[in-house]
Amino acid sequence: ASLEAACYPLYFGWFLRHSFRDELEGLAKDLLKTLDSLEAFKKHLSDFTAEGEGAVNLEEYFQHEGPVHCTTKFCDYGNADGAKEYAESQVVQQRLGSVTELQLQALFVTPRTLGARVALTPEQLQLWPTDGDGGVGSALPPGSRAHITLGCAQGVEPVQTGLDLLQILQLQQQGQEGVHVEDLELGPLSYYGNGIWVLSLREPRVGPALFSCFHG
Ligand code: A2P
């Protein structure tokens, strides 16, 4: 194998343009501030705090490092299942370096992660790996897991954000739509139990992102 072929990235994904990233981080910050001040959130505070702790600062609770992006394929430098096939596929090679418009449809907060749900277009779905949504047995449509990690609680790995989103979608699929808590400026806020909060964006946000890869 050539040297080039042996150089697989940590992951492929869509990387948000700075302006779009700033907009999204602003939305997330607003949501956290609102949650912090909501009586309904305070009622369920124990999901986020150790026993006896009276308050939590959500803006400090969630930390994020690295580029803000939506992972398509986690390659782990070629060690992940299907990584090489994905990296070498024609559609990936063709689209590297191209800009697309990503659509965000919801923000979610759990005791573990802060994320945004991404709605993929059919064209974007061509870059979505076949094993991208929880593997065989997943009843969710392709692209369900598409998301952007905006923050993780201490000791939580970013991979958790996608798992949290899948859990929310599974609850919805079982008919558990969550309890409507309040209509915020950005849209309706629902509580799904166990510290899971979902804000559906009344007007989905759309912004530019570059399809590329990250080597770490
Ligand atoms: P996410 O896409 O939810 O943000 P790490 O820093 O832990 O190596 O992760 C690098 C990126 O790859 C993160 O964006 C992370 O999650 C994603 N990621 C890590 N592990 C996996 C995995 N097993 N499946 C899918 N995505 C992963």
Q: What is the pLDDT of residues 128-169, one digit of tens each?
A: 998 888 765 668 999 999 999 999 999 999 999 999 999 999
CA-nearest residue, atom 3 of ligand 1 = 159
86 lines ligand 1 (CB under 6 A): no
Residues in the chain: 216
CA distance 110 to 35: 12
d(CA 14, CA 162): 15
Distance of CA 146 to the CA centre of its chain: 6
Cα–Cα distance for residue pair 169/180, rounded to 1 Å: 16
Q: Which of 44, 64, 147, 215 is catalytic?
A: 147
At 84-137, the pLDDT tens digits run: 999 999 999 999 999 999 999 999 999 999 999 999 999 999 999 988 887 656
Q: Is the C-beta atom of 71 inside 6 A of ligand 1?
A: yes
The ligand 1 atom nearest the CA atom of 115: 3
Residue 144, ligand 1, Cβ within 6 A: no
Residue 76 to residue 81: CA distance in whole angstroms? 9
| Helix residue ranges per DSSP H, 38-158 | 39-43, 58-61, 83-88, 90-95, 122-125
What is the distance between the alpha carbons of residues 62 and 113, in angstroms, rounded to a whole number? 7
First to last CA, the chain: 22
* Average pLDDT of every residue of the chain: 93
* ipTM score of complex: 0.98
**Is residue 177 very low, low, confident or very high in pLDDT (cuts 50, 70, 90)?**
confident
4-30 per-position pLDDT tens digit: 556 899 999 999 999 999 999 999 999
The answer to whether 147 is a known catalytic residue is yes
